[in-house]
Amino acid sequence: MEWAAIWRDLVGGLLIAGAIAAWVPDGFWQHFFLSGHPFVAKLWGPLVGPLVAVISFVCIGLTPDQHAAKLPTEGVSWNYTSWLNVPFLLLGVALLLRFLRTCGWQMLAMMGGAPDQHTEHGHGHGHEHRHSGHGHPDGS
């Protein structure tokens, strides 16, 4: 159920990453991450990569204008990733249907409630653990 708490962040991050991939030329990133120098790139990439991620996520005002966007000219084509997307899309639909059929939505709504609501609805079930001093060998 953790995905439900972070879905907005994931969708926003994917949209921002897609926009950056579409608007910023590959040559810029190759120069920025020093791809011509393999040893230096191994040191530079891990240092500056998280900084680029934070800036691209937080500073949405830094996106370029539409006139810099490049449109693909080749159209849609099927490759191995397209064929891999099909079974995983079907798996995602199957998991979503199972979530809806097994009352997952109600469970998710209940998890967002306050802890006091559980005892008001009869969910207490007497799970309180009281020590009476009986039943344990050392008398505790």
pLDDT digits (tens, 9 = 90+) for 85-139: 999 999 999 999 999 899 888 887 788 755 555 554 555 555 454 444 555 455 5
Share of the chain above pLDDT 70, in %: 65
Whole-prediction pTM: 0.33
State residue 29's pLDDT score: 82
In the chain, % helix, strand, coil (3-state, to 5) comes to 65, 0, 35
State residue 78's pLDDT score: 83
User: In this structure, what are the phi and psi dihedrals at residue 73, rounded to the nearest 5 degrees?
Assistant: -105, -10
Cβ proximity of 72 and 79 under 8 Å: no
Length of the chain: 140
State residue 131's pLDDT score: 47
- Which of 41-55, 57-71, 84-98, 109-123 shows the highest mean pLDDT? 84-98
Burial of 52 per CB tally in 10 Å (0-12, 13-18, 19+): middle
Taking residues 48-59, what's their average pLDDT? 75
State residue 137's pLDDT score: 53
State residue 97's pLDDT score: 93
State residue 89's pLDDT score: 93
